[in-house]
Chains A and B, each alone.
Chain A
Amino acid sequence: MTTYQEQAEELLRAMKLLMEDIASYKSAVALLAVHSAIAFNDAVSERLTGIAHKGQDHSTASRKTRSACVKNKIDTSGIKHLDYLLSKKNEYSYSGIVGEKKSQDAALNAQRFASWAYRTVLQRESVNA
């Protein structure tokens, strides 16, 4: 497992923990959702191309993942969840407290993106893992 995947899983676990008291941690859940998706994308990108995206422009990273998937004939349907979260990143970061509904929405998109990443690219690393 790469360090990107480990980081992505850590962020996703933290998001799930905070979701148990979502009323108190709405903004934190939304931000963790975005950052776990970015880290999952790095793990996917590293697996497909050997390099993870470096830099702040995450939409470029998303485009690169899509193009690597197309090249490898991998289903790209899950990338829309990453794109959605990236489009909300600034709003979640700089517009004050995120509402509960938006926060749940972010969490759902993060989990759907993670699910896609596991099913299509990350998969089982060893038969006993």
Chain B
Amino acid sequence: MPKTQPPPMRVISEDIPISGKQREGRATNVIAELLMAKLLVPKIFLKPRTLKIFLKPDLNQNAKPFLTIDVLAIDRAGSGDIHAVHIFLDQTKDLREQIKLATHVQFLLSYIPVHFKYIAVDSQSIDFVSKQQLFAKDGIGRVGIIEVKEIKSGPPEARIVIQPERFRVNPDAIKEFDKFQNRARADMEFRS
């Protein structure tokens, strides 16, 4: 007698709202996949909370880090360029959110010492964020923009809307990233 397959389970969770943290988590995953495809065997860290590198050497020691790096990708198995993504999914409908997003972009632009920087936003915020100053003051480097498209029936999609341009990085900061890699385990990498 042939075995009968149980009927597939009906998905009924589509209408259950998800929290901001869960939305950000889904975006984090899809952006990590995007960088995994774009770079050569990168090491990827998801929300590396222990990374306090942006406190030094470029930032005033008294300032508090209010901007988190949500995805950190280091090209060539941790030996290449450093890419950092900050995710901002609060739709910029009102002035307060717009000011917050503009501040985050400025902080990313001025203080995070990595080679490639990206701000990831929802589709509604693309227009607003692309009008911000994305170029470095010294002319070397531009913050890239990633659009996170949230789709009701499936996982979100991420695409690079503005390609980032390479920033100059203080060699001391790179040493700090190397130390960080020694103490933290990557969430995604090609193991040998």
Contacts and interface: CB of A to CB of B under 8 A. Distances in A.
B175 A77 contact: no
A128 B41 contact: no
A122 B76 contact: yes
B80 A127 contact: no
Given A127-B175, A128-B169, A128-B171, A116 B192 contact: yes
B25 interface: no
Interface string B46-78: 000000000000000000000000000000111
A16 interface: yes
Of listed A116, A118, A123, residue having the most chain B CB within 10 A: A118
Interface residues of A, number: 24
B175 A122 contact: no
A81 B37 CA distance: 20
Interface in B148-192: 168-169, 171, 174-175, 178, 189-192
Interface in A1-34: 9, 12-13, 16, 20
Contacts of A108: 190
Contacts of A114: 40-41, 77, 190
B192 A115 contact: yes
A112 B81 CA distance: 19
A32 B81 CA distance: 24
Interface of A is mostly: helix
A113 interface: yes
Contacts of B178: 124
B133 interface: no
A118 B178 CA distance: 14
A124 B192 contact: no
Contact of A78 (B40, B168, B175, B192): B192
Given A114-B41, A129-B80, A119 B192 contact: yes
B179 to A, nearest CB: 13
B174 A119 contact: no
A9 B76 CA distance: 10
B77 A119 contact: yes
A119 B40 contact: no
Contacts of A112: 190-192
A122 B171 CA distance: 18
Contact of A115 (B37, B81, B171, B189): B189
Interface of B: 37, 40-41, 76-81, 168-169, 171, 174-175, 178, 189-192
